[in-house]
Amino acid sequence: MALDGVAAHERPESDAAERAARYGLSVSGARPHLVEYIRRLWRHRHFITEFAKARSTTKYTRARLGQLWHVFTPLLNAAVYYLIFGLLLGTSRGVPDFIPFLVTGVFIFDFTRKSVMAGVKAISGDRGLIRALHFPRAAMPVSAVLIQLREMLVSMAVLLVIVLAMGQLPRVHWLLIVPILVVQLLFNTGLAMWAARIGSKVSDASQLLPFVLRTWMYASGVMYSIDIMAADAPRWVQVVLDVNPAAVYIDLMRFALIDSFTSAQLPPHVWALALGWALLAFIGGFIYFWRAEEEYGRD
């Protein structure tokens, strides 16, 4: 027998929903609306920073050289690229101040590469924590990027020493380091959120992503000058290479640190490009991640 148009077998569930609504109860783990989600994420800001600090501190606890690997790793990367590209392949020809040029490209791209790789494992690598505690899941990719930021700040100190050793003197342009890192941080956080949602569902993403990132690095002018290498390429290829976000952030940092890298080597509207890529990646990545909030940690 039906009552008020509702089948009898559906009434217990309906009654339970009515009682839950009456007492202000909600589904556990339900996705809040976007503004409430941001508010909860801000409330967990201390957890995010402490989690990032702890993970960063324990990263090299089993290595004999410990935290010194934060310095050695980017230096060794730069040395390998200088040997292969600068000496063997000759990409240094026509590029003044090639060592600062190369090291800046390696360090800046490495910041983005590591952030994306950390993001793709941010959810899948901490399922136990996610299932045990209730907090905005966006805290995980944000923490992952903050870990990379801590390492990047160490790398920047090393980079400044190298730049000074190569004869570059401090100048007003060095102040641009701060806004450049801020917009790149926004960009990296957005990419990490995209990667985190994909990595939570596709277990093979962490295996495939290194090949995608390596291809991106080769197209970003890390080890060579795009102006020289693409001089004979069609105009549309030059435009695509110039507006590539990784190339934009690398060129801005080279402009800030290297005297011989002038504004004539920057693409038009470079700051608008840098900010536009950062906002597009961050806002798009945040919304994309938030829309799957209820699914993280579930098989």
* Bridge partners (DSSP) listed for residue 3: 6
Question: For the chain, what is the mean pLDDT?
Answer: 86
Residues 278-299: what's their mean pLDDT? 90
Which of 200, 152, 211 lies closest to 299 in space, CA to CA? 200
The set of residues, in sequence order, having a beta carbon less than 8 Å from that of 36 and lying 6+ positions away, is none
When divided into structural domains, the chain yields a total of: 1
Please give the C-alpha separations between residue 120 and each of 193, 195, 213, 280, 289, in angstroms, as whole numbers: 8, 4, 12, 19, 12
Residues 149-158: what's their mean pLDDT? 88
129 located within any domain: yes
82 located within any domain: yes
C-alpha 41/C-alpha 197 separation (Å) is: 17
Q: Name the residue with higher pLDDT: 64 or 204.
A: 204
Residues 184-196: what's their mean pLDDT? 96
**pLDDT higher than 80, residue 164:** yes
Q: pLDDT tens across 225-281, in order?
A: 888 888 888 989 988 998 999 999 999 999 999 999 999 989 889 999 999 999 999
* Bridge partners (DSSP) listed for residue 6: 3
Q: Residue 134: its pLDDT value, please? A: 84
Q: Looking at this protein, which amino acid is placed at residue 103? A: V
Q: Residue 73: its pLDDT value, please? A: 81
90-95 long-range contacts, CB within 8 A, separation 24+: 91/223, 91/224, 91/225, 91/229, 94/225, 94/228, 95/224, 95/225, 95/228
Per-residue tokens: 296 = 């993280």
257 located within any domain: yes
Please report, in angstroms and rounded to a whole number, the separation of the first and last CA atoms in the chain.
Answer: 39
Per-state percent for the chain, helix, strand, coil, to nearest 5: 75, 0, 25
Which of 273, 224, 228, 204 lies closest to 85 in space, CA to CA? 224
Residue 84 binned pLDDT confidence (cut-offs 50, 70, 90):
confident
Q: Residue 77: its pLDDT value, please? A: 81
24 located within any domain: no
263 located within any domain: yes
Q: pLDDT tens across 23-77, in order?
A: 665 555 678 889 999 999 999 999 999 988 888 877 777 777 777 787 788 788 8
Q: What count of other Cβ atoms lies within 10 Å of the Cβ of residue 242?
A: 19
C-alpha 190/C-alpha 281 separation (Å) is: 5
Residue 10 binned pLDDT confidence (cut-offs 50, 70, 90):
low
The set of residues, in sequence order, having a beta carbon less than 8 Å from that of 56 and lying 6+ positions away, is 147, 150, 151
Nearest 5°: phi and psi at 149?
Answer: -65, -40
Least reliable range by pLDDT among 3-17, 127-141, 222-236, 240-254? 3-17
Please give the C-alpha separations between residue 15 and each of 8, 12, 21, 108, 162, in angstroms, as whole numbers: 11, 5, 10, 58, 70
**pLDDT higher than 60, residue 209:** yes
Nearest 5°: phi and psi at 6?
Answer: -115, 130
2 located within any domain: no
Q: Residue 2: its pLDDT value, please? A: 43
Q: Residue 4: its pLDDT value, please? A: 47
Q: Looking at this protein, which amino acid is placed at residue 93? A: R
3-state secondary structure of 3: strand
Q: Residue 294: its pLDDT value, please? A: 85
22 located within any domain: no
8 located within any domain: no
Domain that includes residue 54, residue range? 31-295
Q: Residue 3: its pLDDT value, please? A: 43
C-alpha 284/C-alpha 190 separation (Å) is: 7
Question: DSSP state, 233?
Answer: S
